[in-house]
A and B are shown apart, each in its own frame.
Chain A
Amino acid sequence: MNGAHRLAQIPAGVQCFVGEEARRRRRIEQTAIGVFEGWDYEEIIPPLFDYADVFTGESLSARTYSFVGRDGSVLALRPDFTSLLAKIAAGRLRDRPAPIRLYYSGEVVRYEPPKAGRQSELFQMGLEHLGGDPRAADAEILTIAAECLDRLKVSGFVLTLGHVGVFTGLLEGSDLEPARLEDLRDRVEAKDAQGIRRALAGADLSQDASSGLERLATLAGGPEVLDEAAEVVGGCPAAADAVNELRTVSEALDRAGLGSRLAVDLGEVRGLDYYTGIVFRVFAPGLGFEVGGGGRYDTLLARFGRPLPAVGFMLGLDRVALLLARQKGEPLPARAPAEAVTALDLGSALAEARAKRAKGARVRFGSEGDR
């Protein structure tokens, strides 16, 4: 490729924001941070890169930009914040008593096929609640998520709640080979009841478990789905426990006035190697994919030597910005006009500009002939 052409070009997957667009993004970020601070979370600014093996699991390693450091160690640009925060909470903050509440806001980098709201460089705002009473933490995180969306003036948003324990509980004691398990997971995720039946054909599973798995395709809707779910998984204690956890959290949120924002989706079975409990996503009219989500991951911190249960939530700033643009809500407030300061004499012009700045005015400094 010709060098001059390359210099003008921008690599695929990265973005550049100027002026009003940048202001919109900062405003979204400040709104979210305001909510995180309001719930007494502390900011953490983790490193931009770390050893590559910090970021394993959740098929992240395949999407990581990694490189070799000067000392030969394999490093990676952060593809997410959660692993880094878990490492820091287990290491540097190991003497800090649980629960630990942390929030972050910044870019992550992943190899992604370019799609709407899915560049290689993503801006994430989120928080992690480490330790503490798990049900209280789950409910707190969901409440904070709802407050963020309210304050961002996202209309019609829905928090869809699932629990990976329903799926794993129904499969407890079974011994499906990995390819079949992946096929089954994929069909549950697609809500394809016939596909689930085909994936289970000939598998050594109890009748209760098979019919329960098939029902996962249709166990989605309002919170009343949990009643139906309790009947479906009644014969399977681990799955019934999961449904009970969901019920505890959903009833608490309902009593707190968030009932109309909740939906249940028991076919939500992504990230099974990572999530261990409640999982949720945020959807809103105007955007075909989620604007954020999160869930409980009780085994990650043990990897770093401090077994603590944990739950987290993340909003994608790029997606929030896209959603708000599509929903055409409130316009961005205009900036106060700048006062022009020009004078023939440079020294006196600077003095005048400084005096105006000291009073808090916005100034545009220039010489005569500037516009």
Chain B
Amino acid sequence: MSLTVALSKGKLFSGTQELFRRAGLPFPDGETRRLVVSLGELRFLFVKDKDVPTYVEYGVADCGIAGRDVLLEAGSDVFEPLDLGFGRCRLVVARPAGSAPATDGASTVRVATKYPKVATGHFLSRGMSVEVVSLAGSVEIAPGLGLADCIVDVVETGRTLKENGLVEVEDVALSSARLVVNRASFHAQRAEVSRLVETLERTLR
């Protein structure tokens, strides 16, 4: 029986391609427009990055590669046996340079984010009430336009924040690419899953 792997063509694509190549595993050509590609023992599904945990949790894909940031937001019940090391970034709280910290100021923090669940949890666990403005992108412009006091977003280099007049004030979480595995596949297709996990693990060492 073969394994189905869910991937996205987003920012983790080149790192995944590189890892599979080094591991000697088959991998689809990046140019293909097909969304389902079978190569040898593996079948690849190309889906949106935020949907990878969903495909794996439901068992439509046995495995997948997703950022820890996406997994935190999805809250999916999947195994995460390997940190693949690439796609490193941080989830942070950022606010306009020179603005007052939220902790002792306004009673409610207004936060713009693509990660509403993570952002809500972060502020509530600090005993602060929070109003989340959920956006699909360009989150960095929200504070300057008065839509929010701050943002929760991923940063890699920090350049986008700086160019939009924002500074990091707090870390929320660290992220990197993870191999995720469906619970049922892990046990019901143990031999195939273990082989893939071990191959990737050896390559990472």
Contact = CB atoms under 8 A, between A and B. Distances in A.
Q: Do A and B make up one complex?
A: yes
Interface of A: 115-116, 156-158, 160, 179, 190-195, 217-218, 220-222, 263, 265, 283-285, 287-290
Contacts of B36: none
B80 A285 contact: no
B187 A190 contact: no
A180 to B, nearest CB: 13
Given A192-B83, A217-B81, A263 B59 contact: no
Nearest to A117: B58
Contacts of A160: 187
Query: Chain B's interface: helix, strand, loop or mixed, by majority?
Result: mixed
Given A158-B188, A283-B183, A289 B81 contact: no
A190 B80 contact: yes
A192 B60 contact: no
A326 to B, nearest CB: 10
Contact of B186 (A156, A193, A220, A222): A220
Given A116-B58, A290-B183, A191 B190 contact: no
30 contacts: A157-B188, A158-B187, A158-B188, A179-B125, A190-B79, A191-B79, A191-B181, A192-B80, A194-B83, A195-B83, A218-B81, A220-B187, A221-B190, A263-B187, A265-B187, A283-B183, A283-B187, A285-B1, A287-B59, A287-B184, A288-B60, A288-B182, A288-B183, A288-B184, A289-B57, A289-B58, A289-B59, A289-B77, A289-B184, A290-B183
B78 interface: yes
Nearest to B75: A113
A63 to B, nearest CB: 15
Nearest to B178: A192
Contacts of B183: 283, 288-290
A285 B186 contact: no
A290 B81 contact: no
Given A217-B81, A288-B57, A288-B185, 18 more contacts: A115-B58, A158-B187, A190-B79, A191-B79, A192-B178, A193-B81, A194-B83, A218-B81, A221-B194, A263-B187, A265-B187, A283-B183, A283-B184, A283-B187, A285-B184, A288-B56, A288-B182, A288-B183
B188 to A, nearest CB: 5
Interface in B87-140: 125
Contacts of A263: 187, 190
Contacts of B60: 288
A195 B188 contact: no
Nearest to B180: A190
B189 interface: yes
